[in-house]
Amino acid sequence: MNTIPVHKIHEWSATGIMLEYFRGDIAQYESQLPTLKEAHRDNYYIFFLQECGESCLLIDCKECRMRNAMFGYILPGQIHFGIE
């Protein structure tokens, strides 16, 4: 049986806060954040602000397509990954 990994904030940030800026295609960030396109959970909240463009995430088996300027969040424990 496969288990879905849980990322813990202290694995990514000593301060407990992480701030990232993405611009353009998500594929260009895969080398920096290899788990972007892999299903996983986090033990922390994720808040994101999209200024323009289009992106798509799968969150708890539901496609979440974002267009133009949008604000979104992912709760701790939700299974998610980037599609595009």
Which sequence spans correspond to the domains of the chain?
Answer: 6-12+22-82
Q: Any idea which of 7-16, 28-37, 52-61, 67-76 has the lowest mean pLDDT?
A: 28-37
Report the percentage of the chain scoring pLDDT > 90.
44
What is the pLDDT, as a whole number, of residue 40?
A: 93
For residue 52, the Cα-to-chain-centroid distance in whole angstroms is: 17
SS3 content of the chain, % helix, strand, coil (to 5): 10, 35, 55
- 47 vs 18, more confident: 47
Distant-in-sequence contacts of 57-63, Cβ < 8 A, 24+ apart: 57/81, 57/82, 57/83, 58/83
pLDDT (0 to 100) of residue 26 = 65
